[in-house]
Amino acid sequence: MVLKSTSANDISVYQVSGTNVSRSLPDWIAKKRKRSLKNDLEYQNRVELVQDFEFSEASNKIRVTKDGNFAMATGTYKPQIHVYDFANLSMKFDRHTDAENVDFVILSDDWTKSVHLQNDRSIQFQNKGGLHYTTRIPKFGRSLVYNPVNCDLYVGASGNELYRLNLEQGRFLNPFQLDSEGVNHVTMCETNGLVSVSMEENVVEFWDPRARSRAAKLVLENEIDNAPFQVSTSSFRKDGLNFACGTSNGYTYLYDLRTSEPYRVKDQGYGFDIKKIVWLDDVGVENGNNILTCDKRIAKIWDKDSGKAYASMEPSVDINDIEHVPGTGMFFTANEGIPMHTYYIPTLGPSPRWCSFLDSITEELEEKPSDSVYSNYRFITRDDVKKLSLTHLVGSKVLRAYMHGFFINTELYDKVSLISNPNAYKDEREREIRRRIEKERESRIRTSGAVVKPKVKVNKTLVEKISSKRGDNAASKILTDDRFAEMFEDEDFKVDENDYDYKQLNPVKSAKETDEGAAKRIRALTAAEESDEERIAMRDGRNSESESESDSEEEEEKQELSDAQKRKIEKQRKAIERRKKDKEESDKFLNEMKVSDAGLSVNAQKHADTFGQQVKLMKKQEKEGKDESQILRRNHRGEAELTFVPQKKKPAKKPRKVEDDSDSDGEESKIDNGRSKPRYEGRRRASKNVFRGM
């Protein structure tokens, strides 16, 4: 037998009893195999801490007596009370009640006196003989607490009153009038006697039983999402100064009663309401600051000062209540499952006196158990039932319904599966043979032969570079990679190191790559060198053309040009055209530079002068270039000047009459508007007579 354990932060948490720990069998299997279980070693060696530590359906509440020798639990169905005797590790007795239990309190040091709050508004008093007395309250009760100082029993209900039942006088006293309706939880501090009432609103009211008045009112604030919430539970520490309360949205608030602001807010993480808070003060000095908070999913233990997680207990079913055995590291949980759970944390405290053997067997039995499979029976789902064509047996004794599937006899399952798939055995045998062969191949000693490199058709130099820099393994990986396979097989991806573009991208070669052993600088050709190369290429082309014309018939007979040679010739032709285009662009650029040399020289002269000299020069040029007759004029600062001088209009000149001597025979005179002489002497004239008159 093994114990289920979880470990976090080097803290081991052992699940002594509960789901997936003790071997639980369905009733129909247990009855059938009742006699054969005496020969089952696994069933005989199981760890059962307390016998019959379970309920028929679920458990509601669990309490440990003050002397630590008994535990009382309530559950269903039917509603019942169980009392367990730790000295005998078994159940002492069980009692059935008329209604389901909501909460109960043990009045005495042992189990003999207890008060139970039922869900039918009744309060039952139990003693050794059974039911002692029953009374009722006006509203449905939710929580109760007992004050041993004045023998008052405080009952919180769904109304706005906190009922007080005095057990010494045997009558109800005037209730405490609350500001709001709905009491979720009532608790009392043993040190100062202060009673806290957790309300459906985000309010906690504190009442002083001696003054019978409200002492304080605490309003909780949710600064994270500002969503409405309730106060589900509360708890006082034994020192009387620290107070903790849990909310319906999964937060725990820790307060010092001397301040109204919480000094720690802890998120449980699941968003469910906090069911119980336990201060772990009696488990050692080093762990005195730990606190336990529990919701229906998980119970967490953490440090109240730092908020650091210490340990956690997470059963596979919902938790209804949790109880700590004082002075030990043991916890009991009442939950929705049939068995109640028991957890043991050795680092938190020793095991109880009545089960001291746990300290010696926990480490020996610590192991995570595998999923339980009932012997002679196999679990199958509904899909498996359809595949095996057993749907007509659903509801019979052959298929036992269990959760989302069925139990079937193992022998019957083997027969049915063989009928549905006759080749199943053969296929499984072949798979097993193949697995064994592969296993033997892996164990063989491999020969250290030469590594066969993949064939390289193109770019062999590139492969050599990669192998020299990164090793043969890197080169082989690149060659076998599908992404780069075509680069070493297809001629289109061949790298031509003599190409002009390649030289531009790789201007420097290492000493290993050059034939001479010295690094040489590859530079681009100048315009003159390119023109020389073009002339040589054209001359060689003409010579080759003449030679090719003479020998064309012989070449055609020998062989035709291959595709690779054609591509090479086409590439050379494109390179020559590109060089011509580059030369034309460079010549055009040089001509433009020559034109702009004059302007650059003037600008250079300007830059050589000082700023004052340039201003004087600009003013002088402006003054000289000023034209009085010009109406619109701009200066060097970009400002425009508009001048206008009024003048009288001069009469238009009449055209001068010119008499022609040759036409003096009575013809009319002609008007000549043109000039008879050039505008200035020395103007160039294209007439030949000018040179004759020199």
Give the CA dihedral 86, 90, 93, 98, nearest 10 degrees.
100
Query: Which structure tokens are listed for 16?
Result: 């002594």
Whether the per-residue pLDDT at 551 is higher than 80: the answer is no
pLDDT digits (tens, 9 = 90+) for 649-688: 666 555 555 454 444 444 444 445 555 655 555 555 665 5
Hey, is 486 helix, strand or coil? Answer: helix
Whether the per-residue pLDDT at 603 is higher than 60: the answer is no
Comparing 632 with 212, the larger pLDDT belongs to: 212
Instruction: Give the mean pLDDT of 110-114.
Output: 94
Confirm if 264 and 243 have CB atoms less than 8 A apart: no
pLDDT digits (tens, 9 = 90+) for 150-181: 999 999 999 999 999 999 999 999 999 999 89
Of 177-186, 247-256, 445-454, least confident by mean pLDDT is 445-454
Of 23, 2, 1, 5, residue with least CA distance to 339: 23
pLDDT value for 37? 64
pLDDT value for 16? 85
Instruction: Give the mean pLDDT of 401-425.
Output: 83
pLDDT value for 666? 45
Most confident residue range from 131-145, 436-450, 590-604: 131-145
Confidence band, pLDDT 50/70/90 cuts, at residue 247: very high
Residue 46 and residue 35: Cα distance in Å, rounded?
A: 17
pLDDT value for 330? 92
Whether the per-residue pLDDT at 518 is higher than 50: the answer is no
Q: How many CA atoms lie within 13 A of 555 on its CB side?
A: 10
Query: Which structure tokens are listed for 235?
Result: 């708890």
Of 199-203, 460-464, 540-544, 620-624, least confident by mean pLDDT is 540-544
Whether the per-residue pLDDT at 568 is higher than 70: the answer is yes
Please list, residue by residue across 461-489, b when 16 or more beta carbons sit within 10 angstroms of its beta carbon and e when fewer do.
ebbeebbeeeeeeebbebbeeeeeeebbe
Residue 47 and residue 634: Cα distance in Å, rounded?
A: 111
Residue 133 and residue 123: Cα distance in Å, rounded?
A: 8
Confirm if 381 and 16 have CB atoms less than 8 A apart: no
pLDDT value for 461? 84
Confirm if 458 and 489 have CB atoms less than 8 A apart: yes
pLDDT value for 124? 95
Confirm if 256 and 263 have CB atoms less than 8 A apart: yes
What letter would DSSP give residue 514? S
In this structure, how many other beta carbons lie within 10 angstroms of the beta carbon of residue 648?
5
Query: Which structure tokens are listed for 129?
Result: 């003989």
Residue 248 and residue 272: Cα distance in Å, rounded?
A: 6
pLDDT value for 25? 57
Whether the per-residue pLDDT at 517 is higher than 80: the answer is no
Most confident residue range from 133-142, 340-349, 614-623: 133-142
Comparing 89 with 505, the larger pLDDT belongs to: 89
Q: What is the DSSP string of 415-440?
A: HHHHHH-TTHHHHHHHHHHHHHHHHH
Confirm if 142 and 157 have CB atoms less than 8 A apart: yes
Mean pLDDT (the chain, rounded): 79
Residue 600 and residue 381: Cα distance in Å, rounded?
A: 94
Please tell me whether the overall predicted TM-score, pTM, comes out greater than 0.85 for this model.
Answer: no
pLDDT value for 359? 79
Which residues pair with residue 74 across a beta bridge? 61, 81
